[in-house]
Amino acid sequence: MSVRRSLIWLNLKLKQSNVMVIYPVIIPTLCRYEHLIKCVRSLSECSLADQTELVIGLDYPLNEKQEPGYIKIKEFIKKITGFKKVTIFTTTKNLGAESNLNRLIEYVYQTYEAVIITEDDNYFSPCFLEFMNTALNKFMDDFRIMSVCGYNAVMYEGVTDNSIILTHDNSAWGIGLWKGKNDPCDLSYYDEICHSFTKSYRLFKEYPALLSMLIVMLKRKERYGDTMRTTCRILDDTYQLRPALSMVRNLGQDGSGLHSGINPELLSQTISNEKHFLIDDAAIKKAFEEKAKTNKYLFRQGLSKSWPKAMCQLILWFWRGLLYNLLAKRI
């Protein structure tokens, strides 16, 4: 029996015996050397790090500006310690962020039923890996919960005295996904949603900015993972599980992120300093009882704090959705 077949068999037996499976963490990276060091070191200080396989995908530079960071990372990843195993993928040509990530996911799914994914600019609490693995094991067969994330947005701070929350909003800042729980990735699926007045209005009613983002995504013929997953969470009434107090701080808010500007509030966001995290049945029950209260905060996402400006945004987003519904050609 091959090593990989043996691992698949062992993981299946562990699941059947209720022994917690420790899932790999994957990090796609390219040239952000300083961020990657902080990311990896914070992960290595987590509980369960010594039982975790770390999988790193190093993409190839697209231009000369990326080469210095790439060279430093290439040397750094050879010396990483603190994990059960470190697996490194390299390439001789630029794959792009999506393809670099996909090859890592495919590798993990050959052996495991779930995976933990992070970008290279996240900094973690010591309890991050314990929270993620506990949730991935506990809710694998619960199709009300479609993903787990160690990050929680600032807007949810103080919303509950519970240890966890459930939200329709999807964040990928330290996300756990199951192999058997997938959302559609075909753009035509989301195009159909925007051409349905009933479905697009449901999105607008709960999360106005999301409808606008979805239309921008379709016009550009790109895929925005968080936008697509949040759309599915709202329309399917399924959830992402998060800790009430964030276990992730995003360092890419310094302007180095692909889709982020400079955000001092997020750069200095308070995160948990706990070493361990317990998810008990009482906390789960309370999270489901409070989900409506949690999701009402989505309406404010992306809206100006000035009500005149916010009203203008809402009118703009509503008309953008209506015009797309009536006039845009189907993909």
Residue 146: give its domain's CATH number: 3.90.550.10
One domain for residues 192 and 108: no
How many Å apart are CA 257 and CA 268, to the nearest integer?
A: 16
249 pairs with which residues across the strands? Answer: 123
Query: What are the tens digits of pLDDT across the range 110-126?
Result: 999 999 999 999 999 99
One domain for residues 169 and 276: yes
The reply to whether 43 falls in a domain is yes
The reply to whether 140 falls in a domain is yes
One domain for residues 57 and 26: yes
Classify each residue of 30-43 as buried b or exposed e, where b means 16 or more C-beta atoms within 10 Å of its C-beta: bbbbebbebbbebb
Length of the chain counted residue by residue? 331
* Residues whose CB is less than 8 angstroms from the CB of residue 305 and which lie 6 or more positions away in sequence, other chains included: none
* Residues whose CB is less than 8 angstroms from the CB of residue 90 and which lie 6 or more positions away in sequence, other chains included: 58, 60, 74
The reply to whether 233 falls in a domain is no
Domain residues for the domain of 45 are 3-182+240-291
How many Å apart are CA 130 and CA 246, to the nearest integer?
A: 14
Pairing of strands 114-117, 145-149: unpaired
One domain for residues 45 and 62: yes
240 pairs with which residues across the strands? Answer: 147, 167
One domain for residues 13 and 130: yes
The reply to whether 296 falls in a domain is no
The reply to whether 281 falls in a domain is yes
One domain for residues 69 and 171: yes
Cα three-residue angle 24-28-34, rounded to 5 degrees:
110
One domain for residues 275 and 307: no
How many Å apart are CA 22 and CA 116, to the nearest integer?
A: 10
Average pLDDT, the chain: 93
Query: What are the tens digits of pLDDT across the range 253-293?
Result: 876 765 666 788 788 899 999 999 999 999 999 999 999 99
Query: What are the tens digits of pLDDT across the range 133-154?
Result: 999 999 999 999 999 999 999 9
- The domain tally of the chain equals 2
The dihedral sign for the CA sequence 302, 308, 313, 319: positive
For residue 102, the one-letter residue type is N
One domain for residues 173 and 190: no
The reply to whether 228 falls in a domain is no
One domain for residues 89 and 208: no
pLDDT along the chain (331 residues), means of 10: 58 63 98 97 98 98 96 97 98 96 98 97 98 98 98 91 96 97 96 96 97 96 96 98 97 71 82 95 96 92 93 96 90 82
